[in-house]
Structure 1
Amino acid sequence: FVGRSALDIEGLGAKLVDRFIDLGLVHDVADFYTLDWEQVAQLEGLGEKSAENLRESVEGSKDRPLWRLIHGLGIRHVGERTATLLADRFGSLDALTAAPAEAIAAVGGIGTVVAQSIYDFAQEERNQALIVKLERAGVRVQDERVGDGSHRHPLDGLTIVLTGRLTELTRPEAEERLRRAGANVTSSVSKKTSAVIAGEDAGSKAEKARELGVPVLAEADLAAMLDGSVPDVLRPA
């Protein structure tokens, strides 16, 4: 929930989460938004400055895109790509959790097994209560734009790997924008990879891509892709 690929709460690592749980400060993820920050500041090894920085990170996470929240809920079989599809189609947690399994399975790229897993998650009372707590805490549970799932994004069907240092965007920013444009972003290169985008000091991933015949693109190509222009090398023959 708090990781980089979900709500990305900086400073809230696994050890600190475990500590909060052991102390009884949190019982579920929604409790992070109602922490007593004066009490947190008094914990050994933290202090007022660290507690304030953490509070700001927690507050900032309330306004993340919906797909990040869906991914962070830990629904079985729901990764970043599936979470993006669900956010685009349903537009809010209320709409998603009210949807029958058949409606979820009708979303392109989501099969019956995944749809049933999402439906089962939504039927559990504890999960329903968690979503209510998140909403009451001020966490954004809907996106401004709601899609009907029928339109295509410019990068639909493409699997992209990023490697090396980017100069215009951070890695998380680039990954998120690629996903919003429809791409599936992965960390490893295979024959199924559509392209590798190589920043500065790109290493073994770019080399492996060339060995497999996978196109290796520059950061300028990434910018063009995010503007909706698909490089010729990635267009269907």
Structure 2
Amino acid sequence: MATPITASRPAGRKHHLLVVDDEPTVRELLRTALRYAGFDVDAAATGSEALDLAVRCPPDLVLLDVMLPDMDGFEVIRRLRAQPRSALPGQGGDVPVLFVTARETRQDRLNGLRLGGDDYVTKPFDLEELIARINAVLRRTRGEEPARLVVGDLELVPEGHHVVRAGHPVRLSPTEFRLLRFLMANAERTTTKEQILQSVWDYDFGGDPSIVDTYISYLRRKVDTGEPKLIHTVRGIGYVIRGPRP
């Protein structure tokens, strides 16, 4: 795990991170390394302590272990995602979560992402890569947004993570929202799985393309249950979102 840290310090206001890990050595390593990289860092050893800290001092991003003594990380993210904005000022339940854990099975990874995790890193990890992933998540969750995206009867407003289909609100996880936003920003244009991975998950160093298929299926269940269908598979290439044909 020990590797030289060469990541540049974030410009402007320091981002505030919350590290959640029950191993004191890992917790201290992350706290020291991330502070050196220019972040403000709080740390928690249990899920309940993490949830309390998230309310008292809302973080810009949470680094979350799965194996905790009182509740697992999957339960922590469920509770975070259920929090209203009034309880967690700033991003509310949409606070970015990056799993950092020894649980490395494909099912664990998919479960973490399905519950709204923004990335999933397994131990032992490389500190420089971890910091790069943290900055990538912060970039894509804090970037400038267009005022409104519309495809057919589907509307997405980045401010407030607001999605409506045929007048009915649609509740999406942060990753589902980013995927839909990317598809809608590229409406009528076929995008490959590689383009989606790079833009939605920021995997410019490689990733598992099956994650894209999994999240497209989640998205279809939430925004494409009726007619007309908006999300289409372009066999052998990728996906496209387009409005109904006249």
Q: Greater CA radius of gyration, 1 or 2?
A: 1
Give the TM-score of the pair, scaled to structure 1.
0.29
Of Structure 1 and Structure 2, the greater helix share is in 1
Of Structure 1 and Structure 2, the greater strand share is in 2
Give the TM-score of the pair, scaled to structure 2.
0.28
